């Protein structure tokens, strides 16, 4: 059975992904926070702390950790992960990206995702980039923020959200 490390396993996508992987791989989860569950490994993709331990014996990394509000940090996290994955002999990195990120360069986060895709492609580890559209949870979050004002402005943004499952 292959060993898969999921970064961002505590996030919206990661939480849906873990049950789907159960029984099909030996799954580990990377989180910055201490967690007593045996599958969890504490580590930080910005500093690299804990990464070598978390990656030992790992075949595949699914990189779903992200920091949308800090695009530069988001990009750096991918770089740190790739260097550690190369060092650990990881055989495949799956990078979760966003549909059309290269076409919406007005958003710093989308620019960071596009740069991250390029980093992954040049990272020296066989890779797959999976681009998803917005998750329903994200759209609900954005709409819930708009409800703070008495009049609800609905932006004319074309969206085609997906269920993370
Ligand atoms: N949300 C959307 O609508 C959407 C659409 C398309 C694609 N995507 C992509 O899908 C991926 C997952 O998105 P999501 O919405 O599921 O993310 P999320 O819920 O915001 O979760 C982010 C995760 O990143 C981890 N993380 C953040 N900084 C970290 C660090 N320094 N070291 C280690 N882990 C760190 C967090 O783990 P801890 O707090 O446990 O450390 C958390 O689990 C992202 O790459 C995103 O760009 C999202």
Per-residue pLDDT tens, the chain, 165 aa: give them.
Answer: 999 999 999 999 999 999 999 999 999 999 999 999 999 999 999 999 999 999 999 999 999 999 999 999 999 999 999 999 999 999 999 999 999 999 998 999 999 999 999 999 999 999 999 999 999 999 999 888 887 778 877 777 778 999 999
Q: What angle (nearest 5°) sits at the alpha carbon of residue 136, between those of residues 154 and 16? A: 165
**Is any atom of ligand 1 closer than 6 Å to the C-beta of 71?**
no
- Among 40, 66, 93, 144, residue to substitute to test ligand 1 (most atoms within 8 Å of Cβ): 66
Question: CA quadruple 134, 137, 140, 142: dihedral positive or negative?
Answer: negative
- Show Cβ contacts of residue 49 under 8 Å, excluding neighbours closer than 6 positions: 43
Domains in the chain with CATH codes: 3-132 (3.40.50.720)
Residue ID of nearest Cα to ligand 1 atom 35: 65
8 Å CB contact between 73 and 47: no
Nearest CA to ligand 1 atom 38: 31
Residue nearest to atom 19 of ligand 1 (CA): 11
CA–CA gap between residue 18 and residue 9 (Å, rounded):
7
For the CA of 13, the closest atom of ligand 1 is 16
Nearby residues of 91 by Cβ (< 8 Å), 6 or more positions away: 59, 60, 125, 126
8 CA to centre of ligand 1 in angstroms? 5
Dihedral angle computed from the Cα positions of residues 67, 102, 63 and 163, in that order, rounded to the nearest 10 degrees: 90
């Amino acid at each position: 059975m292959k060993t898969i490390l999921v970064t961002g396993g505590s996030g919206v996508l990661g939480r849906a992904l873990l049950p789907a992987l159960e029984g099909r791989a030996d799954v580990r989860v990377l989180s910055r926070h201490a967690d007593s569950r045996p599958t969890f490994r504490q580590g930080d993709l910005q500093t690299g702390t804990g990464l070598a331990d978390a990656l030992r014996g790992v075949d595949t990394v699914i990189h779903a950790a992200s920091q949308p509000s800090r695009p530069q940090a988001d990009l750096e996290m991918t770089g740190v992960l790739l260097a550690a994955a190369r060092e650990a002999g990881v055989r495949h990195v799956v990078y979760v990206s966003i549909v059309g990120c290269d076409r919406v360069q007005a958003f710093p986060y989308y620019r960071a995702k596009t740069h991250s895709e390029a980093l992954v492609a040049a990272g020296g580890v066989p890779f797959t980039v999976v681009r998803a559209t917005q998750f329903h949870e994200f759209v609900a979050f954005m709409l819930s923020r708009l409800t703070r004002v008495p009049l609800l402005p609905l932006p004319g943004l074309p969206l085609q959200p997906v269920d993370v499952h």
